[in-house]
Structure 1
Amino acid sequence: MKFFIDTANLEEIKKAKALGILDGVTTNPSLISKESIDKEWIMDHYISICDLLEDEEDLSAEIISTNYVDMIQEGEKLSLLHPKIVVKIPMCEDGIKAIKFLSKKNIKTNCTLVFSIGQAILAAKSGSYYVSPFVGRLDDISHNGLSLIKDIKIIYDNYHFKTNILAASIRHPLHITECAKIGIHAVTSPLNVISNLVQHPLTNIGLDKFLKDYKNKF
């Protein structure tokens, strides 16, 4: 399973790379708005992110347009910025049409804000490279986000859809490990969630004992 970091912060991306687990980056307008950059420098910021990535890694950069014509124009513009960019498009009728159009032009897309099986099927049928179901946001409203991931995986396997499942809105390590058991392509999460996979109280206790025993002897 691939690990993507959900951020637009260059330092966080560098830390993920240093940890040795980075497979890609996802962003959205909210994450971009947190960075200290002016609007006219957003495209340059995307390029800076891409320049940090290795050959097989990619960046999902989200459009802000909401109608078909503007979506495809913005999508084409983003795709020309850098070969590592995947155009992130929200789930809606015009979004599905835009994904279909861009896919026919061999432009990779990521269908985002997916919350249902039906939406996931449409994303795959339109040719999206990634589909991003939002696990945590479903949990927030007392729906089982992981159950949706399981159902999408079953349906995609049934029909041999090539769309990759990229689980988003990951809130804690359990989301990551459960997604791994389901067998999906990738998860995207904040860096701190991935870092928390390292932690276990028994690991800390064991390490402290090993070092104490060594010190007492030598």
Structure 2
Amino acid sequence: MNQLSGLKQFTTIVADTGDVNQIRKYQPMDATTNPSLILNTINIPEYQDLVSEAIQYGKKKSSIRKQQVIHASDRILVNIGMEILKYIPGYISSEVDARLSFNTDLCILKAQNIVKLYEELGIERSRILIKLAATWQCIQAARELQKYNIKCNLTLLFSFAQSKACAEANVFLVSPFVGRIYDWYHDKNLIHNYDAKNDPGVLSVKKIYKYYKKYNYSTIIMGASFRNIEQILELSGCDRLTISPNLLEQLKNNSSLVSRNLFFSDSILPKPTSLNESEFLWEHNENQMAVEKLSDGIRQFSRDQEKLEIILNSKF
């Protein structure tokens, strides 16, 4: 048995890619996309008909070029998601425009529009996870979207305050970014004698896992953004792990034994008092790494969304 098969015994594997060829190869349960991944996949030959259809859709929805591009951008996100869903049994995560990350109402409207586009193509909302950055505004959007049976994946999660607020809002799933947490500590020369057991990103996920199980929160924990397979294997037993194709390949080619590392067997305790907005903002602000990485992540996804729109605009 290879390590990928071994890992699947303890954890649900999610593919962190928009490339349907990789989805077919590794046969994950779910798949996640983001603006960066969509940007990297629109030139894949298999997707050119989907891109062309999105352009035509944009033209039909508006006569104003800027609006045409926005409609086409939403449509290509959904078209690629629909294609991926043909090869997985579970969820596809599709991300709301990161430029809306500080506006609850606009996030709700965009999420509803993405779900509507999927449903118009015959995909039930029960198979869709709407990805939102884990800002206070997006967490409240996720809380509200549950009223419409829309499940969310809160991403760019770096602080414990974010994880607590998401659980308290009954968010369906959170994606703590293991690799980006590691990057911050590594870049500041704060990691010495590296050991995956003491990796700050790994420790962050373990802390969230223990907290959620201790207080019986239903929110699913999905470790994300890995830099090596050691980080992944150290989190064996986590609810879900979303893994890039290059690391999936390494796991597939390695036959070393995989053991479960995350357990919870203590008694369940009553849930603590929920954070209010000011408490959340202060607690998050106290974590310099989380403040920097959340804002960096939103800017990066926003830039990639803008690049995608520039490419789509050139195709009209």
2:184 aligns with one of 141, 164, 172: 141
Q: Please tell me the residue identity of whatever aligns with 2:173.
A: Y
The residue number in structure 1 matching 2:85 is 50
Q: Deviations over 1:11-46 (max 9, x none)?
A: 1111122xxxx1110111111111224635332222
The residue number in structure 1 matching 2:288 is none
Distance (Å, rounded) in 1 between the aligned partners of 2:88 and 2:147: 26
Question: Residues 127 and 46 from structure 1, CA distance in 2 versus in 1: closer, same or farther, beyond 3 angstroms?
Answer: same
State how 1:78-97 maps to structure 2 within 5 Å.
Answer: 78-80=114-116, 81=118, 82-83=123-124, 84-97=127-140
Contact 1:50–1:85 under 8 Å retained in 2: no
The residue number in structure 2 matching 1:205 is none
The residue number in structure 2 matching 1:77 is 113
User: Secondary structure, in 3 states, of the residue corresponding to 2:163?
Assistant: helix
User: When you count strand as a share of all residues, which structure comes out higher?
Assistant: 1
Distance (Å, rounded) in 2 between the aligned partners of 1:129 and 1:201: 33
Contact 1:79–1:86 under 8 Å retained in 2: no
The residue number in structure 2 matching 1:12 is 22
Unpaired stretches in structure 1, ≥5 consecutive residues? 203-218
Aligned-pair Cα RMSD in Å: 1.9
Contact 2:78–2:94 under 8 Å retained in 1: no
User: Secondary structure, in 3 states, of the residue corresponding to 2:235?
Assistant: helix
2:30 aligns with one of 14, 24, 41: 24
1:122 aligns with one of 155, 165, 170: 165
Contact 2:20–2:84 under 8 Å retained in 1: yes
**Is 1:60 the equivalent of 2:116?**
no
Q: Could you tell me the TM-score, scaled by structure 1's length? A: 0.83
Distance (Å, rounded) in 1 between the aligned partners of 2:221 and 2:76: 30
Q: Deviations over 1:151-185 (max 9, x none)?
A: 101110121000000001012211211111xx310
Distance (Å, rounded) in 2 between the aligned partners of 1:90 and 1:134: 12
Contact 1:171–1:189 under 8 Å retained in 2: no
Distance (Å, rounded) in 2 between the aligned partners of 1:196 and 1:162: 31
Q: Deviations over 1:104-138 (max 9, x none)?
A: 32211101000011110111111211110000001
**Is 1:155 the equivalent of 2:190?**
no
The residue number in structure 2 matching 1:34 is 40
Distance (Å, rounded) in 2 between the aligned partners of 1:147 and 1:9: 30
Distance (Å, rounded) in 1 between the aligned partners of 2:223 and 2:162: 14
Q: Please tell me the residue identity of whatever aligns with 2:228.
A: H
Distance (Å, rounded) in 1 between the aligned partners of 2:224 and 2:76: 26
User: Secondary structure, in 3 states, of the residue corresponding to 2:15?
Assistant: strand
The residue number in structure 2 matching 1:171 is 227
**Is 1:199 the equivalent of 2:205?**
no
Distance (Å, rounded) in 1 between the aligned partners of 2:163 and 2:254: 35
Q: Could you tell me the TM-score, scaled by structure 2's length? A: 0.58
- Report the identity percentage: 29
Distance (Å, rounded) in 2 between the aligned partners of 1:28 and 1:163: 21
Unpaired stretches in structure 2, ≥5 consecutive residues? 1-10, 43-50, 56-72, 186-198, 257-316
Q: Please tell me the residue identity of whatever aligns with 1:60.
A: S
Contact 1:78–1:85 under 8 Å retained in 2: no
Contact 2:172–2:220 under 8 Å retained in 1: yes
**Higher deviation after alignment, 162-171 or 98-107:** 98-107
Count of equivalent residues = 195
Question: Residues 105 and 200 from structure 1, CA distance in 2 versus in 1: closer, same or farther, beyond 3 angstroms?
Answer: closer
Highest RCO, 1 vs 2 (Cα 8 Å, sep ≥ 6):
2
